[in-house]
Structure 1
Amino acid sequence: MSDLSVETTRIPGLLVVRLPVHEDNRGWFKENWQRAKMTALGLPDFGPVQHNVSFNAHRGATRGVHTEPWDKFVSILSGRAFGAWVDMREGESFGQVVHIDLDPSTAVFVPRGVGNSYQALEDGTVYSYLVNDHWRPGQTYPALNLADPTVAIPWPIPLAQAEISEKDQTTPMLGEVEPMKPRKTLIIGALGQLGRALQAEFPHADLVDLPAALGETSEPLVEQRAPASVVETAPQPLDITDPDQVAAWPWGEYGVVLNAAAYTNVDGAETAEGRRIAWAANAGAPATLARLGAEHGFTLVHFSSEYVFDGTVDPHTEDEPLSPLGVYAQTKAAGDVAVATTPRHYLLRTSWVIGEGKNFVRTMAHLAATDVSPSVVDDQVGRLTFTDELARATRHLLDIGADFGTYNLSNGGDPTSFAEIAKAVFALAGRSADEVTPVSTADYFAGKDLAPRPLRSTMDLSKIESTGFVPQDAMVALRDYLARYSAG
């Protein structure tokens, strides 16, 4: 009896699993699917939802090559079979073939887009397969002729002597097959600061945006503000808080959903209207996406905030207990809890986001250009996060297949206060840094009805750095950003 093992093949993602079979005079027993042991050896945690069994009455029964739009875990429950798989996915491996003999000690993980076929080698062969989506009538998918000479599957029993369905006898040859495209990427909140950066990093993604009322923003505490930037019309609206719109959306077409949408008006969230919107956008919508991710198997990337902490710990780590202060912070924390329930998720906690649109750095640059001398809080300390850096980190985690979970992400370098950042912007604009007057949060709050802010926003970046990602220094990124902003 061999140990459980997982072997790679020349088709990317197609894995052969060797199963221990325990035999005695009564027969045999095996663990046909054992999630914990198999995923520890590299099998994807693909979340099967349906178990199908095919009984093949006679030797020579031959089925396939079928390319259903889901992952499969195939195995033999009784008898023997010859299994063959053809990569039908768009890409360099299109047309690649793998074939092996199957008995109860062998199983195969077949990723979406790889055609599956087999031939029974004994009467009464029972073929089993777990799938991670429900079969539905009317679904279409690529199929390949069993006799295609290009792939030249070496069937042990000649096809002329095999039992083949009429449908499988009329499927096209490889040159006539349209390769299966990969599941798409969806960006929600595509016209926000982060959404625009994600568009640049994921240029072929589908784009949707929340209704304008669900995407208001606010800035750090500063006495003078710049006019809001003009925002283009959203390419396609999708209200994640509307059950009818959610039900009508084709979630099964997506492999990755990037949720960059949020209500970030920290002070507005303290009002009766803002509180309702913030809970819907920041907590309810992520909970809906988490449920959909579990149901459809897509990877959910959700962007959160250091506001989920009260700012008394320095630096913040990924496992720090949540301790939100105001309503906005509470809704973001609730969203974090919801996202963590879906199996395939990356939760990126970030701080002080700067991108294309209304933000603190652009406000300071505008004030520097218009001879305004602002007062800026100097006891809120953290690091800037530029949206292109956040998008780059997102791409990095997805590309390397990093462990799912929570990651802190900001630009690197020494922590600074908002006042220090404002002084740096003024100096880069040719104004004296001394024209920025530091003020404490307590003094700034005096006589104003504002939401509480965390004073310490610096995050520990060691977890994402351990994946090979190196954050760019925030001050270097600031200089580059202002150079682009000035040129524009």
Structure 2
Amino acid sequence: MAIEFGKELGITTTPIPGLVVWDLPVHGDSRGWFKENWQREKMTRAGLPDFGPVQNNISFNDAVGTTRGIHAEPWDKWVSVATGRIFGAWVDLREGPTFGAVYTTELDPSRAIFVPRGVGNSYQTLEPDTAYTYLVNDHWSSEAPYTFLNLADESAAIAWPIPLDQVEVSAKDRAHPRLADVTPMTPRKILVVGANGQLGRALRAEFAGAAHVEFAARDDVDLGSPDLAEARRWRDYAAVVNAAAYTAVDLAETADGRTDAWLTNVTGVSRLAAVAAAHGVTLVHVSSDYVFDGTLSRPYREDDPVSPLGVYGQTKAAGDAVVSTVPRHYILRTSWVIGDGRNFVRTMQSLAERGVDPSVVGDQIGRLTFADDIARGIRHLLSTAAPSGTYNLTGAGDPASWADVARTVFELTGHDPARITAVSTDEYFSAATTPVAPRPRNSALDLAKIEATGFRAPDWKDALRRYLTGEGG
């Protein structure tokens, strides 16, 4: 069968999600032929995932009818034919609604196929001296999870051009299980670092029951360790969510606090970013309104220049810059975070119940953000594969001052909001005897970008009402 010359680079989708056949331009004459078997810039622009190959393998078969498979591996593959021709069969062996879906086609040097992780791969040679080449985005490991299906499985019912009883098949391949006995390939894992903090606890609730999500406290994964790269088999992870941070904004203004803030928010994040970049892992990082100076008269957008006022904000801005270099990343900027445990809302609720009439800052403007909504937003970005980048994620609704929030807490708990006295930031901290971090006066963040992905945060007042009645947070 002659190779078809002069094709345009193009794709054909299949019933198996992510499994895509590619037509490759092959240039030839009486001397032979040439093709670009893998061209990252052209192919990713045309829609191929930028899957980051690290190894190139070649399988040579001298006899017609050599049959191999069905093997599902924990990595993506770019499969093509260097010489000869094959009949290929692919079966989806991943967990999910398409488990067991089958696709077959022939490949020659002018056609290639992208095989996503967990899709079973098999082929049968149709010409002698066939060489089958494939790029993979992980190094082979005996410790990696594999899944197999019998070539003769009745439910897959693959119409092999040459019957299996007439071809060369290894004893190992003949012994693979039928579909009913196959253990599906589980999704790549998600690791939550800092899983015992208020956001970490919200993420535990959001991903409750998801077997592929792991939670690690600081003692389990030390971001400050120079051995972080060896702490896990990182290629097994689709994403790492960094919920660990130094957040003591006032203490960061002290000598020891400054060191600790930079160690956690910059040095540790840098090591995690290096791991993510090296292994194709999506890094999710939570940032802060403190990267801005709060002088704008409108809500801050993601592309506004950062201008942090204090040490904490400086470390968060530096961490954002590092994470932005990771090819697959989400930076979530948020503000005024409320979760379980001690926080501003619980303090105001307690003061109201004890008959205390507090003075509260009235010249800082923003919106409350509840930890469970941040967790929901993180899951949304990951599950929808939203474009990499920075996203603002706070409560929705009209911005308000801390004094306004306190009045709302009093009102929702049945107390007189007039008991709150609004004071300026300078007045509030006038008697402080320890360093006080400068605060941005405007912490309102524009939500249009994340809303364009389909995510909607609740109005902060509605979320506050649910939080106080025990329905959220």
TM-score by length of 1: 0.89
Query: In 1, are the aligned partners of 2:229 and 2:275 still within 8 Å (CA)?
Result: no
| Rounded Cα–Cα distance in structure 2 between residues aligned with 1:473 and 1:346 | 23
2:430 aligned residue: 446
Q: 1:319 aligns with which of 286, 300, 303?
A: 303
1:259 aligned residue: 242
| Rounded Cα–Cα distance in structure 2 between residues aligned with 1:47 and 1:339 | 18
- Please say which of residues 69-78 and 35-44 is displaced more in the overlay: 35-44
| Rounded Cα–Cα distance in structure 2 between residues aligned with 1:248 and 1:396 | 27
Measure how far apart 1:336 and its partner are.
0.9
Equivalent position SS for 1:282: helix
Residue identity matched to 1:269:
A
Structure 1 runs, 4 residues or longer, greater than 6 Å off = none
Q: 2:266 aligns with which of 260, 264, 283?
A: 283
- Please say which of residues 401-410 and 241-250 is displaced more in the overlay: 241-250
Q: Deviations over 1:32-67 (max 9, x none)?
A: 223333333332221111111222223222222111
Residue identity matched to 2:231:
A
Q: 1:417 aligns with which of 379, 401, 404?
A: 401
2:470 aligned residue: 484
Measure how far apart 1:473 and its partner are.
1.0
1:468 aligned residue: 454
Query: In 2, are the aligned partners of 1:240 and 1:246 still within 8 Å (CA)?
Result: no
Measure how far apart 1:447 and its partner are.
4.9
- Please say which of residues 141-150 and 244-253 is displaced more in the overlay: 244-253
Q: 2:123 aligns with which of 90, 104, 118?
A: 118
Query: In 1, are the aligned partners of 2:74 and 2:144 still within 8 Å (CA)?
Result: no
Residue identity matched to 1:303:
V
Q: 1:385 aligns with which of 369, 389, 392?
A: 369
Q: 2:207 aligns with which of 202, 205, 219?
A: 202
Q: 1:12 aligns with which of 9, 12, 17?
A: 17
1:436 aligns with 2:441: no
Q: Deviations over 1:267-293 (max 9, x none)?
A: 111222222221122112222222222
Q: 1:406 aligns with which of 372, 390, 394?
A: 390
2:331 aligned residue: 347
1:231 aligned residue: none
Gaps of at least 5 residues in structure 1 are: 212-236
Measure how far apart 1:92 and its partner are.
2.6
Measure how far apart 1:109 and its partner are.
0.9
| Rounded Cα–Cα distance in structure 2 between residues aligned with 1:363 and 1:26 | 82
Gaps of at least 5 residues in structure 2 are: 1-5
Equivalent position SS for 1:163: coil
1:214 aligned residue: none
1:456 aligned residue: 442
2:378 aligned residue: 394
| Rounded Cα–Cα distance in structure 2 between residues aligned with 1:396 and 1:181 | 19
| Rounded Cα–Cα distance in structure 1 between residues aligned with 2:422 and 2:338 | 21
Measure how far apart 1:386 and its partner are.
1.1
Query: In 2, are the aligned partners of 1:8 and 1:14 still within 8 Å (CA)?
Result: yes
| Rounded Cα–Cα distance in structure 1 between residues aligned with 2:171 and 2:466 | 64
| Rounded Cα–Cα distance in structure 1 between residues aligned with 2:320 and 2:459 | 27
| Rounded Cα–Cα distance in structure 2 between residues aligned with 1:354 and 1:182 | 31
Query: In 2, are the aligned partners of 1:241 and 1:281 still within 8 Å (CA)?
Result: yes
| Rounded Cα–Cα distance in structure 2 between residues aligned with 1:287 and 1:43 | 29
- Please say which of residues 321-330 and 402-411 is displaced more in the overlay: 321-330
Residue identity matched to 1:298:
V
| Rounded Cα–Cα distance in structure 2 between residues aligned with 1:383 and 1:5 | 47
Equivalent position SS for 2:470: helix
Q: 2:340 aligns with which of 347, 351, 356?
A: 356
Query: In 2, are the aligned partners of 1:293 and 1:300 still within 8 Å (CA)?
Result: yes
| Rounded Cα–Cα distance in structure 2 between residues aligned with 1:94 and 1:141 | 15
Equivalent position SS for 1:89: coil
Identical aligned pairs, as a percentage? 59
Residue identity matched to 1:463:
K
| Rounded Cα–Cα distance in structure 1 between residues aligned with 2:144 and 2:341 | 43
Question: What are the equivalent positions in structure 2 for 1:85-234 lying under 5 Å apart?
Answer: 85-137=90-142, 139=144, 141-203=146-208, 204=210, 205-211=213-219
Task: Quote the RMSD (CA, aligned, Å).
Answer: 2.1
Measure how far apart 1:249 and its partner are.
2.8
1:426 aligns with 2:382: no
1:308 aligns with 2:294: no
Measure how far apart 1:461 and its partner are.
0.8
Residue identity matched to 1:295:
A
Measure how far apart 1:238 and its partner are.
2.6
Equivalent position SS for 2:422: strand
Query: In 1, are the aligned partners of 2:192 and 2:200 still within 8 Å (CA)?
Result: yes
Residue identity matched to 2:218:
L
